[in-house]
Structure 1
Amino acid sequence: MKRTSQFLKHSVAREDRPDGTILLRSNYELGPVAEKTADWLRHWANEAPDRVFIAERSGAGWREESYSATLEKVQAIAASLLARGMGPDTPILIMSGNGVDHGLLSLAAQYVGVPTAPVAEQYSLIHGAHGRLQHAIELVGPKMAYVVDADQYGEALALDALNGIEVVASRPGQNGKVTPFADLLKGDAGVDLAAAHAKVTPDTVAKILMTSGSTSAPKGVMTTQRMMCVNQTQLADSLPFLRERPPRVVDWLPWNHVFGGSHNFNMMLSNGGSYYVDDGKPVKGLFERTLENLSMVTGSLVFNVPVGFGMLLAALREDTALRQRFFADLDLIFYAGASLPQDVWEGFEAMAMEVKGEVPLMTSSWGLTETAPATMMQQEPTDRSGVVGVPMTGVTLKLIPDADMRCEMRVKGPNVMPGYFQNPDKTAEAFDEEGFFVTGDAMVFVDPDDIDRGMKFDGRISEDFKLLTGTWVRAAQLRIDMLACLAPLATDLVITGADRNQIGVMVFPDVAELKREGFDLTDDNGAYRCKLLQGEIHRRLAERAREISGSSTKISRAIVLSEPASMPEGEMTAKGNLNFRKVLTRRKDLLERLYDDADPAIITI
């Protein structure tokens, strides 16, 4: 199968220590690194002043801001921030999702060293999630807060926690206490913008990014200029085609997460690319907007989560014109968040060959909010999903293997955070005695005899548990396997069995899909009872059980939950990830029912 040729071959150096740990480094040197993000903006405003940098939907078309216009507005907003006395100790809380004004404000703050703290818009728009917003306000201590629409965010803006904080809105509505975003664009000639800009260094904190809070209260990751600038060099070192022509994306991934807001946004800025904000999402009712946006503009790179790629593949199969447009200029298909189902992977491969006779680089990487994020990259073509590749330039991976060569992952490099915001205890816990960041993630080699084949993510160490027999269960990988086994019946699930004799699964169903398939659901005090559905799940689990051996992967029982995961109750993070501990704690009665063979809602194998 012909593939695009612009890729960098893996080349890894390995050091085996006497204590059994393994160090991995790239044999390639780290390329030149910008000092701060404004260097990119100033460069492209000079080199390509009329090229679109950022755009969002406006009516039937797009509001587009060129590089030169972006720089002009960023400098004006930065001056307005300085005139308010803002600096490194006066963060800006950004409560809204992706948008042009959000991007301009972020870059303006970075221009003069004011940290921004973008938080999930759900925290403001969902009444029950205001506790998460309150936590972020108390942690960050902002001097300013931004929303796109003061009326839409009115309930959140009325929180006592925002008293005394200047609120800025692109659409202020009738709220006379809100500063119009247009006022920031007026600038202030009375400040020394150049002097403030000169004080920004690689160590200046650019963002405070909140962790997902899937295992504990969200922490604020101090993201420095160096982290973001180094990471873009590392990405361009791994993906050389980024430097050969300006990239373009139509992207929905939220900027309060490191993937969308640092990885993707800065990839466009650092390489002179164009970022079109997709105001759709891969969920029912919003995905149609994504397809509309793609009918107007398509990217040279596409980033998404696996469920998004599954929906996109189905849509492309039905739309010949969109399929031609989508693949015409495509260099990269990049998935993250979970492993891409192999059938979806192969579907894109076949479609690319049909349309253009070659396959763009299909890949993923590994990293965390604390690592800016990219740290490992599958930078050469592979024919399988799930591989996260090799260390990127400038980083050292420290692997601590167990008897099965499953390795705990630790990392050191210039893209790693200096610490958690105002949390020295958690910061100290996060690093080992050699200064390696302790990720808590596990990896396995694709081929232990050939390290250049890369590694695969193998779950979170903290999610593993033991059965009463002493058998270890790798819950993260088992969860991925079970999602594939139960697709499309389950939207998510929780693996159970800690200190019990058998592994069970608590299933969050796709209710709409089940109803379309004719399952007559009946709620039974927290669980669904439907003989047809129970029979189908039993059939799939039994079929799977016949194909495997060993108690560490056999699912012996299941329960289908009737109440969806609750964000207000902390069962779901803003990323849409389950907080497994919270689910098990909040639904402990259902967990006990799962191990009661006499309960009619339980499926047993």
Structure 2
Amino acid sequence: MAFASRYPDVEIPELSVPQFVLAGVAERADRPALIDGLSGETITHGELAFYVERVAAALHAKGLRKGDVVAVFSPNTIWYPVVFHGIAAAGCVISPVNALYTPEEIAFQLKDSGAKVLVTVSPFLDRALAAVEKSPVDEVIVMDGAEGHTSLRDLITADAPAVQVDIDPANDLITLPYSSGTTGLPKGVMLTHRNLVANVSQSRPLAGVDEGNERIIAVLPFFHIYGLTVLMNQGLQWGGAVVTLPRFDLEQFLRTIQDQKITRAFVAPPIVLALAKHPMVDQFDLSSLRSVTSGAAPLDESLAQAAQDRLRKGAAEGTAVGQGYGMTELSPVSHTTPEAGLEPAGAGETPKGTVGYALPNTECRLIDPATGSDAAPGERGELWVRGPQVMKGYLNNPQATAETLDDEGWLHTGDVAIVDDEGRYTVVDRVKELIKYKGYQVAPAELEAVLLNNPQIADAAVIGVLDKESGDELPKAFVVRAPGSEISEDDVKAYMAEHVAPHKKIRLVEFIEQVPKSMAGKILRKDLKNR
């Protein structure tokens, strides 16, 4: 049985993402679009549109054409959206690279995506060049400048002729983020212009937007689809100001909310935990903050309530803390908590702990994992989603695409949910094996492959172990020592730290005699979880 959204469908504009996000820029040309939360440096909406046009022209003059992939390896800066939309306006495809990646991980993405150019920043240049040695590209552009490399200033000041690219929003890709999906190694998620335009359009009826006056704090990374769509593109499309921070530091985060009069914070559960419990919160005036929305990992009901109660005590009378649900393959949002007063007709306040309602234009099914049939009303089932935000598929991976996206357009999320009589969804479990750590997806298979490259390890398996304090899943390795090996827990952790990004590091190690496996050789993770 398919559950339709409780909200009426919205119209999805037939526009490219830059056309959609930068529409109406003439009316707000002098208003701030992007503000550096640390330095105060500002780009206005008018300047943003001009810079985007110049970057697109310069890239075209360099020989890049529609469909070419440009990888972007950078922390959040006010120039990231300039690069993103400039690449998109040139008809090219942006493949955002995790800022924490090692050269090996960057090289994999460059090769798999077929990137022709890598855009980075000077502090990341060592890793970028090491990656390019393994997987060459035509050029490395350094946004803030480095000897021997084109800079962003060079692109913006080039006198290349303006370019107009014919984009088919429904079919042409705009971005190629990498996700482990519901299982396995990272895969390129093919998202079209329509996917991203749809997701911002679908989300709007659930947000009481103060047109042109919203100030969104962007501490979640733009290389993650949550930051890219919900913070960056949604904030700019609303005509508001997006205030960037390069990383999460609690004092900087709180000071920026206070000084920049932030109205909305889209965050992950660890930040909600800090807002609820850290004593530093009381030192800052957060009264401008109207809305805190958590995503990327489940948010505990009591934690959401504690954060809301505390923020309201601090004179932010209307501050509401809610959560949403999504995944990279959904561009990323399929469900969210509506702002007070924007609930469907007849519905009351959305309970904490739920991920709210399905967005407009979105259908859902709940499928019993054991039988493959629709779950009975009130019963748990794997959440399937269908709508205009659903990805086109995985790049060069028809098998993985078929396993996640069926012939009828249903995306099988791998998460188990339940829906109440009002149409509000709660995510309760996970079918898939992915580990969720600080909002990042960590694929056990990827970590196992790294472990098995160590000659002192005969076999290994990785699972996620719930940390009740943080709500995160900690990657735990079960390791079988090679004959004669005396490798220790610290040795295993140090080895992994050298080869993977920080969020993928092994946090716990247990040595075992044999990894439990099925007759077909599949690791029996349930057996390990039951230990």
The alignment's TM-score, normalised by the length of structure 2, stands at 0.78
Contact 2:7 2:359 survives alignment (8 Å): no
Shift, 1:345, TM fit: 2.3
Contact 1:44 1:67 survives alignment (8 Å): no
Measured against aligned partners, the alpha-carbon deviations of 1:148-175 in whole angstroms (never above 9, x if no partner) come to 11x54224314423535211112333x3
Shift, 1:208, TM fit: 0.5
Q: Which runs of 5+ in 2 are unaligned?
A: 341-348, 369-374, 435-462, 480-485, 517-529
For residue 45 of structure 1, what is the aligned residue in structure 2? 25
Aligned residues: 468
Say whether 1:233 aligns with 2:201: yes
Pairing partner for 1:180 from 151, 154, 158: 151
Shift, 1:132, TM fit: 1.3
Contact 2:226 2:296 survives alignment (8 Å): no
Change (3 A) 1:353 1:46: same
Change (3 A) 1:357 1:137: closer
Q: CA separation in 1, counterparts of 2:272 and 2:495? A: 23
Counting aligned pairs with the same residue, the percent is 21
For residue 589 of structure 1, what is the aligned residue in structure 2? 512
Letter in structure 1 aligned against 2:262 = G
Pairing partner for 2:178 from 193, 203, 210: 210
Change (3 A) 1:42 1:294: closer
For residue 335 of structure 2, what is the aligned residue in structure 1? 376
Q: CA separation in 1, counterparts of 2:262 and 2:514? A: 45
Other structure's SS at 1:262 match: helix
Change (3 A) 1:199 1:245: closer
Contact 2:103 2:127 survives alignment (8 Å): no
Q: CA separation in 2, counterparts of 1:87 and 1:592? A: 49
Please tell me the root mean square deviation across aligned C-alpha atoms, in Å.
3.4
- The structure having more radius of gyration, on CA atoms, is 1
Greater CA deviation, 455-464 or 215-224? Answer: 455-464
Say whether 1:81 aligns with 2:59: yes
For residue 126 of structure 2, what is the aligned residue in structure 1? 154
Letter in structure 2 aligned against 1:134 = A
Contact 2:182 2:413 survives alignment (8 Å): no
Say whether 1:423 aligns with 2:397: yes
Letter in structure 1 aligned against 2:224 = H
Q: CA separation in 1, counterparts of 2:108 and 2:281? A: 45
Q: CA separation in 2, counterparts of 1:590 and 1:308? A: 39
For residue 483 of structure 1, what is the aligned residue in structure 2? 467
Change (3 A) 1:26 1:360: same
Greater CA deviation, 433-442 or 405-414? Answer: 433-442
Change (3 A) 1:358 1:210: same
Pairing partner for 2:314 from 355, 362, 368: 355
Say whether 1:29 aligns with 2:9: yes
Shift, 1:435, TM fit: 2.3
Shift, 1:224, TM fit: 0.9
- Alignment of structure 1 residues 151-550 onto 2, 5 Å: 152-158=124-130, 159-173=132-146, 175-176=147-148, 178-189=149-160, 191-193=161-163, 195-196=164-165, 198-199=166-167, 201-212=169-180, 215-239=183-207, 241-242=208-209, 244=211, 246-281=213-248, 286-315=249-278, 317-318=279-280, 320=282, 322=284, 324=285, 326-327=286-287, 329-356=288-315, 358-379=317-338, 382=349, 384-401=351-368, 402=375, 405-445=379-419, 447=420, 450-452=421-423, 454-463=424-433, 483-484=467-468, 487=469, 492-493=473-474, 526=488
Q: CA separation in 2, counterparts of 1:143 and 1:306? A: 36
Q: CA separation in 2, counterparts of 1:83 and 1:221? A: 28
Say whether 1:115 aligns with 2:115: no
Q: CA separation in 2, counterparts of 1:89 and 1:244? A: 33
The alignment's TM-score, normalised by the length of structure 1, stands at 0.69
Shift, 1:397, TM fit: 0.9
Q: CA separation in 1, counterparts of 2:409 and 2:492? A: 45
For residue 539 of structure 1, what is the aligned residue in structure 2? none
Contact 1:249 1:298 survives alignment (8 Å): no
Q: Which has a greater percent of helix?
A: 1
Q: CA separation in 2, counterparts of 1:589 and 1:146? A: 44
Contact 1:50 1:68 survives alignment (8 Å): yes
For residue 81 of structure 2, what is the aligned residue in structure 1? 103
Shift, 1:373, TM fit: 0.8
Q: CA separation in 1, counterparts of 2:318 and 2:195? A: 32
For residue 596 of structure 1, what is the aligned residue in structure 2? none
Q: CA separation in 1, counterparts of 2:350 and 2:9? A: 27
Q: Which runs of 5+ in 1 are unaligned?
A: 1-20, 124-128, 465-478, 497-504, 507-523, 529-560, 594-603
For residue 455 of structure 2, what is the aligned residue in structure 1? none
Q: CA separation in 1, counterparts of 2:6 and 2:504? A: 32
Letter in structure 2 aligned against 1:264 = L
Shift, 1:432, TM fit: 2.1
Q: CA separation in 2, counterparts of 1:378 and 1:93? A: 33
Q: CA separation in 1, counterparts of 2:145 and 2:465? A: 48
Shift, 1:56, TM fit: 1.9
Letter in structure 1 aligned against 2:48 = T
Greater CA deviation, 29-38 or 217-226? Answer: 29-38
Q: CA separation in 2, counterparts of 1:155 and 1:233? A: 37
For residue 516 of structure 1, what is the aligned residue in structure 2? none
Change (3 A) 1:591 1:294: farther
Other structure's SS at 1:106 match: helix
Measured against aligned partners, the alpha-carbon deviations of 1:299-320 in whole angstroms (never above 9, x if no partner) come to 11112111112223444x4455
